[in-house]
Homo-oligomer: A and B are copies of this chain.
Amino acid sequence: MIPDILLTNICLPDRTGKQPIIEDCCIAIQGDTIQQLGPASQCTTLEAKTVIDGQGQLALPGLINGHCHAAMTLFRGLADDLSLTDWLHNHIFPAESRYVQPDMVYWCSKLAAAEMILSGTTTVADGYFYEHQAAQAFADAGLRAVAAQGVIDFPAPGVPDPEKKITHAAEFLNKWQNHPLVQPAVFAHSPYTCSPETLVAAKELSRTENTLFFIHVAETEQEKDMILGRQEDSPVCHLYKLGLLDPATVCIHGIWLDEQDMDILAETGAGVVVCPQSNLKLASGIAPLQGLLARNIRVGIGTDGAASNNRLDLIREMDICAKIQKVQSLDPVAVPARKVVQMATQDGASVLGLGKTTGQLAPGKKADIILLNLDTAHLQPVHASELPVYAAQGSDVQTVLINGKLVMQDRKVLSFDLEETLDQVRQLAAQVKKDQMKIPA
C-alpha cells in the first residue's frame, strides 16, 4: 500500500550510539500510524501521496507536555517576580474569577496549542475550568491532549456551586468519550484546596470512567506543613491513606517529598510530572528527580501554565530539567540529556497512559513526529543526538505531524488560523490591560 505521507532525506538518531545521527532516512505514514522508518536503502517504498523533503532535519518523537493550564496564556507576564501568596491571592485568583469564561478558555487554550505545536509538543496534559472549551481548542488545533476538568472546594469558573463539582466533571468526561485526539480526565486541584471527601469522590469518578486522575502535590514547603498540620501526614502519605494512588494517578510537581513519599509512589505505581521552570520562577523548590528515577517511578516533564513559566516550550524545559539536577547535586553526570529526552517523550507518554500510542518513533505508533532544523548557527556542528536538550530552541522545530496529520510545516501552523486566535486573545487582553491601568501603582 502506498503510504499517505513519506518523510524523506531526514536524519534519525543513531540508536547504536556509534555516531550521533544517521542521514538519508525515511518515515512512511499510513493514516494516523507510522508504517516504517529507517535508512532510505532499507525502506520498501519511496513513493507516497505526499512526500516531504526533510533535508538537514532531525526527526524526533513529538514532545509530551505533562502539565499545563493552557488558558492561562492570557495572564503571561501579568504578575512576575512576586511572592507565591501575593501572586496567587492578589493577582491570579482575582484575574481568574474576573476573566475566565468559556470564550477565554477556548481562545487562550488555542493560543497555547499554537505555542506548543510551534515548539515541538504533540501531546499536552491540561487541567483547568471550562475544560470542555480547552478540549475543543486542542481538538480544533489538532493537538493530542489529555484534558482534565478541575475539581476544587471553592466556587470556580463554570462551577459556581462547589456542591456540583463532581457532577460537572462527570458531565465533562461523558462529552469526550472516544475522541481520536482528546481524552478526558479529572484534575483535583490539590490536597490543600480539596477535602478528603472531595478527593475520594473525584478519584472514584475517574476510576469508574477509566480516566486519569491528576493532582498538584508537594509543590511548596507551606503545603507540606499545612497538610502535616491538618492530617498529621505528608501530602503523599495523605493521598495514599485515602487510596488515591495507583498507576492512573499523576502527581504534579512532587518537590517536597521525603524518602517514604518516594517509596509510596514507587509501590503504588503512581506517575509524576516535574515542572522545573515554574518551580524555579515561583521559588517552590527542586524536585528530587534522581530519587524518583532511582526508584523507577515514571516521570514526565511539564511546563505548567504561562503565568508561572512563562513559556510552554518543552525544549527549554528539558534543558533546565537536566541542568538544575546537576547543580543541586553538584554532579554533572546527574540526569543526562538522553534521560531527559526520554522523560519528555516515552516516559511522559507512559505517565499519561499513552505509552502504546505515542512517545516513540516506531512502526505501529501514532505518527506524532517533529522535524528539527539542524542547519543553524547554534546547532552546528552536530556531535550528539541529544542536541535538542542543551542547544536547540523551540523555533528550530520546522514541521510537526500529529496523529498522521501535518499540523505545522516550515514554521507555519496549518491546522487552524493562528492570526484569528492572536486577534481574539489580543481583544481579551485589552480588557485585562484596561483594568490594570485602573489599579494604582
Chain A residues proximal to chain B, CB less than 8 Å = 17-20, 73-78, 80-84, 87, 111, 114-115, 118-119, 221, 277, 279-286, 306, 309-313, 316, 319-320, 322-324, 326-327, 329-334, 336-338, 375, 377-378, 380-384, 386-387, 390-391, 393-395, 418, 421-422, 425-426, 428-429, 432-433, 436-437, 441
Contact = CB atoms under 8 A, between A and B. Distances in A.
B332 A283 contact: yes
A428 B87 CA distance: 50
Contacts of A80: 336-337, 384, 386, 390
Q: Which of A319, A390, A437 has the most CB of B within 10 A?
A: A390
A381 B429 contact: yes
A381 B280 contact: no
A390 B309 contact: yes
Closest 5 CB pairs of A and B: A381-B429, A280-B323, A81-B336, A395-B395, A77-B384
A433 B337 CA distance: 20
Q: Which of A75, A83, A310, A313 has the most CB of B within 10 A?
A: A310
A285 B327 CA distance: 6
A150 to B, nearest CB: 23
Q: Which of A83, A334, A395, A421 has the most CB of B within 10 A?
A: A395
B383 A78 contact: yes
A18 B115 CA distance: 28
A137 to B, nearest CB: 13
Given A77-B390, A310-B391, A437-B19, A327 B286 contact: yes
Contacts of A333: 81-83
Contact of A383 (B375, B377, B422, B429): B429
A332 B81 contact: yes
A391 B75 CA distance: 12
Contacts of A386: 77, 80
Nearest to A323: B280
Contacts of A426: 380-381
A111 B81 contact: no
Contacts of A330: 221, 283, 285
Contacts of A323: 277, 280-281, 320
B433 A383 contact: yes
Given A18-B437, A279-B327, A74 B118 contact: no
Given A76-B391, A333-B81, A433-B19, A378 B283 contact: no
A20 B283 CA distance: 24
Contacts of A418: 377
Given A77-B390, A221-B330, 18 more contacts: A19-B437, A75-B383, A76-B391, A78-B383, A80-B336, A80-B386, A87-B332, A118-B378, A281-B326, A282-B332, A283-B326, A283-B329, A283-B330, A316-B393, A324-B324, A324-B327, A381-B428, A381-B433
A393 B395 CA distance: 8
Nearest to A441: B17
Given A327-B285, A377-B422, A77 B383 contact: yes
Contacts of A382: 77, 429
A17 B436 CA distance: 12
B77 A387 contact: yes
A393 B393 contact: yes
A279 B332 CA distance: 10
Given A77-B382, A426-B381, A429-B380, A84 B332 contact: yes
A54 to B, nearest CB: 18
A425 B380 contact: yes
Contacts of A421: 377
